[in-house]
Chain A
Amino acid sequence: METLGLALDTTFDDTSVAIIRGKRELLANVTLSQYADHAEFGGVVPERASRKHLEVINPLIAEATAKAGVKLEELDWIAVSHMPGLLGAILVGLTVAKSLAYQLGKPLIGINHIEAHPYANQLVHGELPFPLLHLVAAGGHTLLIHQTDHFEWQVVGRSVDDAAGECVDKVAKMFGHAMPGGPVVDRMAMEHSPASIRFPRPLMNDPGANFSFSGLKTAMLYYLRDNKDTLEEGPILSAFMESVVEVLAVKTLRLAKELGVAAVTLSGGLAASQRLRREFEERSKKAGIKVYVPPPGLCTDNAAMVGSLAAYRFEANRVDDLTLDGQANLLT
């Protein structure tokens, strides 16, 4: 019989609860975003995020169980993202998860939020063939992860400075767009041509697997300074986004060929970008490499991907005890 699990994610500024049957039957996935709460500060305020998580998480659990038509007593496991992220925020979800696990006498499964992002693809596309190369562009992370089996993975490339999504949001802010500005930049990139504007492609021809985006952000600053009188937002942002997606796609697919992986996956908030998805679609066809992407709703932080990975961990009896701690950083 297939198991029933509940997953929580409070690693950053979204509170998310999911209920999943088996490995991919999503019975509920409810997420409360805190964009509006932090908008006036221009970024996420950690203490504010933690307070909001506590305020909403129990009502969200009630909403999720009602939506799924299940009772807490029917659950077989409780999963929670315990790293990486804002520690105060993580501790809210972790404590709630531990409380549920203790109360129900069911196992607790701690999940690495970054490891969970690619599992949005397992959830939607079914069992994916290993080995895989994942591009995870999520919040403060831009990572290339080589996975040879479930639970067997390593980071093989990363941004050495700004994350790609971070860079996009910061450029959006330069044009006066409220956070998160990424979707606005993406829309501009889809609606406008870059014309004759061209931004640098940092590290694109570097044979290594790392990225760099802070120079691109600086290039935009200088462009805006030097072209004050001839600014047309659409083509500029289109050219900027073209640079970002080209670097990401070229380097990812090049590494995929070198590693001889069966497929590539995209995940994380930036994977919701239509422009990025189009770039990967075009280039992967030419390269003969299969690319999996989740629907946009499963790219941004969500508990469904946490639940998907947790279901595999439960099957493999990889569970934790109630001394599990939260961890802010990805790598110790």
Chain B
Amino acid sequence: MTATIEPNALAIDTSSDYLSLAVAREGITVASYYERLGKRMAGEMFGVLDGLLQQAGIGLSDIDVIVAARGPGSFTGTRLGLAMARTFAQGQSCPLVGVDTLRLLAAQAEPEPGAIIHAALNSIRDEVYHAAYRWDGEILIEQAPVSVMALEDLVTSAQGNPVVFRRFLPPKKDEPEFPPELVSATLRHPHPDGALLLREGLAMYANPGQEGLPPAEPIYLKTEAFRKWKP
């Protein structure tokens, strides 16, 4: 299978409680799925995939490029999607593009040429996974790599720039869904779903940059709460 600018592609994200899948035919998303499955994910993901491919009118063997979420997020969850993606890619010798979940969050925002966009995914004890990007047209260029920081440090780091903030864990009682100290980004895409993952993955694939694509490996970041436990 040769890579084309408008390939048939499959996107897989299991790094959160949501099963997120999408299928593109010739570069256009034609089927997608985004549902909170939680513990049902491992048992249901293949049935959902099969239905989605049927809906798209293509088979797995027609897929030219696979895009998968690398985390950060759930360790076990991230591994499910990557195990599926890596095995598919191995079986049909097609490229695999790994996309980190912070980039996916940032991609939800309305592009503002030259602006910095921050993406944050909350963990526990007021810590967040964070990365920052700059828009170059419709392409996101990483400005600050994925890291862990305290929420208050995110407020300082963001310096009033727009933030896409997602809760990995539900808010505590009386805790607002979106931290009022941050400036919310205007979203053009409501969810960090498979369709968005497809778009980001294919954009990275078409524009790998000088350093090439990052490895399709999981990102396991520890928040302070877990840092006492050695990986």
Contact = CB atoms under 8 A, between A and B. Distances in A.
Asked if A pairs with B, the answer is: yes
Contacts of B83: 54, 57, 91-92, 95-96, 99
Contacts of B79: 50-51, 54, 88, 91-92, 95
B46 A102 contact: yes
Interface stretch (B86-94, B177-185, B188-196): B86-94
A48 interface: yes
A104 B91 contact: yes
A28 B47 CA distance: 31
B44 interface: yes
Contact of A95 (B50, B80, B218, B220): B80
B101 to A, nearest CB: 17
Interface residues of B, number: 27
Given A41-B230, A54-B82, A58-B87, A102 B43 contact: no
B218 A325 contact: no
A47 B91 contact: no
B42 interface: yes
A21 interface: no
Contact of B87 (A41, A96, A323, A325): A96
Contact of B76 (A61, A72, A91, A104): A91
A38 B30 CA distance: 45
A91 B75 CA distance: 12
A109 to B, nearest CB: 15
Query: What range describes how many residues of A lie at the interface?
Result: 20 to 34
Contacts of A322: 46-47
Contacts of B84: 95-96, 98-99
B44 A51 contact: no
A50 B83 CA distance: 11
B87 A103 contact: yes
Interface string A78-98: 000000000010011011101
Interface string B48-78: 0110000000001100000000000001100
B137 interface: no
Nearest to B89: A58
Nearest to B43: A323
Contacts of A103: 60-61, 87-88, 91-92
Contacts of B90: 58, 61-62
B87 A91 contact: no
Contacts of B87: 58, 61, 95-96, 99-100, 103
A104 B83 CA distance: 16
B176 interface: no
Contacts of A180: none
A58 B86 CA distance: 7
A72 B47 CA distance: 22
B212 interface: no
Interface string A59-72: 00110000000001
Contact of A100 (B43, B76, B91): B91
Contacts of B49: 102
A218 to B, nearest CB: 29
A326 interface: yes
Nearest to A97: B87
B209 interface: no
Contacts of A323: 43-44, 46-47
Candidate in B47, B49, B80, B90 with the most chain A CB atoms within 10 angstroms: B90
B63 to A, nearest CB: 10
Candidate in B79, B86, B87, B90 with the most chain A CB atoms within 10 angstroms: B87
Contacts of B88: 99, 103
Contacts of A96: 83-84, 86-87
B50 to A, nearest CB: 7
A48 to B, nearest CB: 6
26 contacts: A45-B231, A47-B75, A47-B231, A50-B79, A51-B75, A51-B218, A54-B218, A55-B217, A57-B83, A58-B86, A61-B90, A72-B91, A91-B42, A91-B83, A92-B79, A95-B42, A95-B79, A96-B83, A96-B84, A96-B87, A99-B83, A99-B88, A102-B49, A322-B46, A325-B42, A325-B43
Given A96-B84, A96-B87, A102-B49, 12 more contacts: A47-B75, A51-B231, A54-B83, A55-B217, A58-B86, A91-B83, A95-B79, A95-B83, A102-B46, A322-B46, A323-B44, A323-B47
